[in-house]
Each structure stands twice: as C-alpha cells, then as structure tokens.
Structure 1
Amino acid sequence: MADRADGVIDGVFTAAGIDSCGKLGDVPAKDWERVVHVNLLGTVAVIRSALPYLKSSGGRIVTCASTLGINAVSDATAYCASKFGVVGFSRALAAELAGEVGVTTLIPGGMYTSFFDGRDEQYMPPPEAKLNEPANVAETVVFALSQPAGCEVRELVVCSSTESSWP
C-alpha cells in the first residue's frame, strides 16, 4: 500500500463487512470466526500496516463499524460482536494516538449495497426499508478525513432518517 503511495499515507478508511446470519448454535464456527476475522481483525491489520506512515504524515483513520456495533439484534451475533469490537478498538486507538493520528469511527446504518445479496428472506431488509445511498456515506468519510489539524470527529452515525436499527 505505501509502496504505491511513494511511502506517504495521509488517510485510511477500513470498510470490511461480511456477515453469517443465524442463531449462534446454527452458524458453523468457521463461518462465525471468519466474520470476526474479516470485520475486526482485518480492520486492525490494515491500520497496523499503515500506522508508521500515518504517524509520519499526521494522517487520519476512519474505521467502519455499523449501527449493529452499538445496537445488537438476534441472529447476528458474529456481525454484532465484530462491529462492537471495531467500535471499542477505534475508541481505544483514538486515545492511544491522540495528538498524532486522527481516528474517526463511522457507524453507518443499512446501505444499498451487495451486502444483503444472497441472504435468506428473513435476513433481508423489508421492501419498504429506506436504506442509505453509499455516496451519502462516502461524503461523511471525506468530511472526517478532511478536518484541519487539531480537530477530531470521533464518531459519525450516518443512517436513513427512518433507519430501523438505530437507536
């Protein structure tokens, strides 16, 4: 990553998000662990690799959690655990890097993406659900990454005005 950027990284956005829906006892352990590995540990791995460059540039990090990282629901234990983990990791990292690297936690609600593709009907948003457009959420990421030095946006909850998973 840094090689392609001539050794300079000013900002990182971690947007990993997969799920394996179902009750804890019904989701195979390897699927459950994969969700945590991708969503939480993948976030950590990307930031860990970019951190020396971000410290050099006084850069910024935006992690992507979810409204299900602050509000748990049934049949999403792996996803909720991983995204609660991203929230906790991001808050701790913000404290650790205060004054060196900015850290923002993005907490988006449901979006019109392929995230819901291929799910059983019971795990799909209802037809009347109003989800957020990815472009709207992307604007908030740019906003967080473009703050002046010394100004931090610690958390951003971005969802449709009728989001059912918030609060």
Structure 2
Amino acid sequence: MESLKGKTALVTGGSKGIGYGIAVELLKNGVHVAITSRTQQAADEAAESLRKVSDAEVLAFEADVRDLGSQQRVVDAIVKEWGKLDAVIANAGLGHFGSIEDLTAEQWQETIDTNLTGVFNSTKASLEALKQSKGYLITIASLAGTNFFANGSAYNASKFGVVGFSQAVMLDVRKYGIKVTTIMPGSVTSHFNGHEPNPDDAWKIQPEDLGQMTVDLLKMNPRTLPSKIEVRPTTPPSK
C-alpha cells in the first residue's frame, strides 16, 4: 500500500459529520487536510480539534460550495500553501424532505445547488490541480442516489445527479491519471438534517468508517479503480 504521508486533501463540509470523520482518518495517515464550512467559526473550531489528531497540518476555510469562485479561492490557497492538491473529497450536503405538495421552490433550489452543483463547483475548481498531481476525486453521494423514497424528491434528484455526474467525470478525466470514486452510504451517524448523534445510533455507519474507506481508496494501487461503492449498515434494526 502506498504511504499517504505528506499528501494533501480538501474535504468540503469538513467541520462535522462525515467530512470531519474523513478528515480525522486522513490526518492519522499523515495527510495535510484543508476543511471548509459555511462559517469561519465552525471551520476554525473543527480545525482546532483536528490539530490534536496528528502532526499533519490543517487549514480551515469559510466557503460555500454553491459558489464556484469561493471553491476556486480555497483550491488556490491550498496550492499556494502546500504546493499541490492530491485529493478532493466533495462531501458538503444537506437535505430537505417532504411531499412534492409541501416542498418549496427555495428548498428544492438549495438542495440541488448544494448537493449537486456544489460537487460540480468543487470538481471544476480543483481539476487543474488534480491534473498536476494525478490526484483523486471522491464524491459523497448516498444510497438515495439509486433508491428513491417518498418525501425525497429533492434529495433523490440531487444524489441521483451526483452519481451520474461522478461516473461521467470519471470517464472524462481518467486520461489524465485522475481517479474518481463516488461513495454511496446508507444510514450514517451524523448531524445531518438536524439530527443529534446519540447512543441509539450505534448500529449505523460511523463517520470514521467512511474515513477508513477513503484512506483505503487513496492507498489502492493506481491501476485499480473502485468507481462506485455502496455502503450499508451490517445489521439495521428490525422493523
């Protein structure tokens, strides 16, 4: 397995939940990690905690994935500070749930702009840097990107879109030596949709599990590409 020590990574939405868990595992493996959040305070607080994980460096940025210029400024700052960008984990996302009768146009737009256009923006902004490093793009989709459900029209549409986008981009950029994987988790313990993690979440996928998966992908021989990974809890509660 390839050592990751000294590699650099950007994790969008890295101040909590899945993004934070991925950042922790990357740092444990010697990766310098930049995280983004919608507020500088949240990014700084997470970075302060992350710096206790290892001697690898941590950068914290206020950035909104819905804004391409914001994403470009982050990538440029990373390359200026560390000289390269080896991996991008496009994780930032949100969810609005409800029947199409109740879903507002504003909720629809925010979901699509964040979950889908946000992944486009993160990808577009980092593409030249990833070409230079022959790097890795990992997008965080969801099982909701292949399994539709009632009250999920906006979320389903965004995650179906992320899966399709990621697989098409994989075909676009493999000629540059860039690898692209989309991870599709099921139930994860996180702060998603206002949830507060608690002991009842023990059966769910944990953020650090997805962090371990990210590390394993980055360490995999460059000749092999798991382009799409579905991840489920082993034993969900009986209904």
Band the TM-score falls in, shorter-chain normalisation: 0.7 to 0.9
Q: 200, 203, 208: which one pairs with 1:135?
A: 208
Report the identity percentage: 30
Aligned pair in 2 of structure 1 residues 85, 163: CA closer, same or farther (>3 Å)?
farther
Deviation track 1:59-112 (CA, whole Å, cap 9, x = no partner) reads 010001000011010001100000000000011001111232100010011111
Seen in structure 2, the aligned counterparts of structure 1 residues 117 and 150 have a Cα distance that, compared at 3 Å, is same
Q: Which residue of 2 aligns with 1:48?
A: 124
Q: Which residue among 182, 189, 206 is the counterpart of 1:105?
A: 182
5+ residue gaps, structure 1, are 120-126
C-alpha displacement of 1:118: 5.7
Would you say the 8 A contact 1:131–1:163 is kept in 2?
yes
Distance 2:166 2:204 in 1: 25
Structure 2 residue aligned with 1:57: 133
Is the alpha carbon distance of 1:23 and 1:47 closer, same or farther for their aligned partners in structure 2, counting shifts above 3 Å?
A: same
1-side partners of 2:171 and 2:235: how far apart?
Answer: 32
Cα distance between partner residues in 1 of 2:207 and 2:98:
26
Shift of 1:41: 0.3
> Structure 2: how far apart are the matches of 1:90 and 1:139?
21
Structure 2 partner of 1:145: 218
- The TM-score normalised by the length of structure 2 is 0.61
SS of residue in 2 equivalent to 1:160? coil
The correspondence of residues 80-119 of structure 1 with structure 2, limited to 5 A, is 80-100=156-176, 101-117=178-194
Normalised TM-score (structure 1): 0.86
Query: In 2 relative to 1, CA 35–151 (structure 1 residues): closer, same or farther, beyond 3 Å?
Result: same
Separation of aligned partners in 2, 1:99 and 1:107: 24
Higher relative contact order (CA 8 A, sep 6+): 1
Which of 74, 79, 90 is equivalent to 1:5? Answer: 79
More helix, by proportion: 2
Give ranges in structure 2 of 5+ residues lacking alignment. 1-74
2 CA distance for matches of 1:77 and 1:132? 24
Deviation at 1:54, TM superposition (A): 0.2
